[in-house]
Amino acid sequence: MFKNLLCLFLILLISQTTSISQEVQEPSSQEEIQAGLTGGVPMGRWKEGLMFEGVRPMPWLKSAANWFPGTEEIQPDEIRVTFMGSAPMIRPGQMNTSIFVELGNGDNFVFDIGEGSVANYVASRVALNQIKHVFITHLHVDHFGALPYLWMFGTWAGGWHEPLTIHGPSGRTPEYGTKTMVEGMKMMLGWHRDAFSVFPVGKGHDIKVNEFDFRDNGGVVYEKNGVKIIHWQRSHAKDGASGYKLEWNGMSVVWTGDGRPNELDLKYAKGADLYITELQPELLEINSGVQGVPPFLGRYTVDTHHTPGYAAGYLANQIQPRMFMTTHMNFDPFLNEEVVAEVRHHWKGPYHFGAPDGIVVNMTKDLVWVREGILPDYPNSRAPQFNFDNGQLVVPHPPTSREEIQEAFVRDHEIDPAKYYPKEYYPELLESWPVNKDLVVPVEALPENLRQSMGADWRLKQKNQALIEENEKLKKENEKLKNGK
Ligand SMILES: [Zn+2]
Ligand SMILES: [Zn+2]
């Protein structure tokens, strides 16, 4: 009885609430709707504020204010640029300079790999074995300091099938070129490489160098898959500093690296869609009090090596990009407004800081948008990403073993695991590599979680490639129809 009453009460309650929400009211007049919804805001009727045409968020962004790593797929026609390091002077909130460029066709490119920047790649959910091409503007260590770590741990974490390629300028003499730097790094990492050879390193340890002639202004450094990258000289106190322009899908991104404002920048960066240069504010004395750089040292460093804020604005105004960005600069409240004022002296167009770390740019032919990326302090690494085109995962056989690179003595003195593992928990130990040749696993034999996590990037690339091809086909058919008329 009580149950029935309760039911009746609930039914009454529900019918009551639904009848309220369904009550139809007299619609407001057209004028009232117009005044209510668009009062004071443009809604397409006029241009708002000082914003620029084509600078607004794309509809596919999960949040127009922030980028959360791992939540957005890059679109087939899109370029996404992330500032993984943004300062010449490393500090916890700003790693040394590194710019990550991802393309809708599945390719990605690293421009400079400054000290500490790998932490931001990891926080951005880039698997280190996804990085295959690093372009170094010059051999100041704030532009390549993370290379040893990237090379060694990128190889360990699945970089087995394709060696890392380092692109960089020659020096005036061979000893100052990128090739010699890499040879020196190989020597520095001699112990590490041999130690990591107990792992399935495959081709990962065969680093490649593409050293180009620094004087060959406008020369092509890279050309593949519709992507072209050229370089030119920059004036940075010593021969062998370069700027780069990447072109793909009718768009271009310029990263100048460090240097004094130069006619060559105007020539090669002219009309870039996204133009990024370094910037040093004209606040040498105040800045020295805050940052601890003696003013004469700051002044001399800027005037021989760097781009002052006013010059950055001047360059942008000559180059006329769709979006201008500055990086390799300290991000501090006392500096930020001054930096904007200096840039604005010449450049009135779209402008954002490429700092602090984690700033993300999305760009298509029509739109460009800049957001703050939310990079966690304690992220998890992304699973290594593999190409499953052959329908299999190959785990190369390790080149060496503990027995080969370690004398027995210290290994024989390892404490017997039975002494520290509880009896009820004694894992099967993997003390030597379990197979004696390459391990070849058909994709369908991979556990589901591994197939999903390690093939995510490969699947997105396939999806985007199919969309790109479909678009091309449509374009051609449209042209045929047009010509037929
Ligand atoms: Zn630098
Ligand atoms: Zn430098």
In this predicted model, which residue has the larger pLDDT, 426 or 15?
Answer: 426
Collect all residues with Cβ–Cβ distance below 8 Å to 94 and sequence separation of at least 6.
85, 86, 87, 330, 331, 355, 356, 357
pLDDT at 1 over 80: no
Residue range 41-65, pLDDT digits in tens: 888 888 887 778 899 999 999 999 9
pLDDT at 7 over 70: no
> What distances in angstroms separate CA 472 from CA 229, 455, 484, one per listed residue?
23, 26, 18
pLDDT at 8 over 70: no
Domain boundaries, the chain: 66-373, 392-454
| Model pLDDT, residue 443 | 96
Q: Concatenate the DSSP letters of all residues of 200-228 into one string.
A: --TTTT--EEEEE-TT-TT-EEEEETTEE
Distance from Cα 278 to the centre of ligand 1, integer Å: 8
Q: Do the beta carbons of residue 204 and residue 384 sit within 8 Å?
A: no
CATH number belonging to domain 66-373: 3.60.15.10
Distance from Cα 474 to the centre of ligand 2, integer Å: 46
Residue 82: beta bridge partners? 100, 360
Q: What residues flank ion ligand 2 with Cβ within 5 A?
A: 140, 258
| Model pLDDT, residue 103 | 98
Distance from Cα 328 to the centre of ligand 1, integer Å: 7
Residue range 405-453, pLDDT digits in tens: 999 999 999 999 999 999 999 999 999 999 999 999 999 999 999 999 9
C-alpha distance across the termini of the chain, in Å: 79
For tokens 């073993």, the residue is 401
Distance from Cα 281 to the centre of ligand 1, integer Å: 14
**Strands 368-373 and 359-363, sheet pairing:** antiparallel
Residue range 192-212, pLDDT digits in tens: 999 999 999 999 999 999 999
Q: Which ligand is nearest to the CA of 238?
A: 2
C-alpha–C-alpha distance, residues 103 and 54, integer Å: 19
Q: What is the pLDDT of the chain when averaged over all its residues?
A: 94
| Model pLDDT, residue 287 | 87
Closest Cα partner for 251 from 267, 234, 273? 273
Q: Which ligand is nearest to the CA of 305?
A: 2
C-alpha–C-alpha distance, residues 102 and 347, integer Å: 27
For tokens 């004209």, the residue is 282
Distance from Cα 346 to the centre of ligand 2, integer Å: 25
pLDDT at 235 over 70: yes
pLDDT at 9 over 60: no
* Entry pTM: 0.92
| Model pLDDT, residue 14 | 54
Element (H, E) at 79: strand 79-85
pLDDT at 96 over 60: yes
Bond before 434 cis per omega within 30 degrees: no
Residue range 315-367, pLDDT digits in tens: 999 999 999 999 999 999 999 999 999 999 999 999 999 999 999 999 999 99
Residue range 16-27, pLDDT digits in tens: 555 566 899 999
Q: Do the beta carbons of residue 65 and residue 371 sit within 8 Å?
A: yes
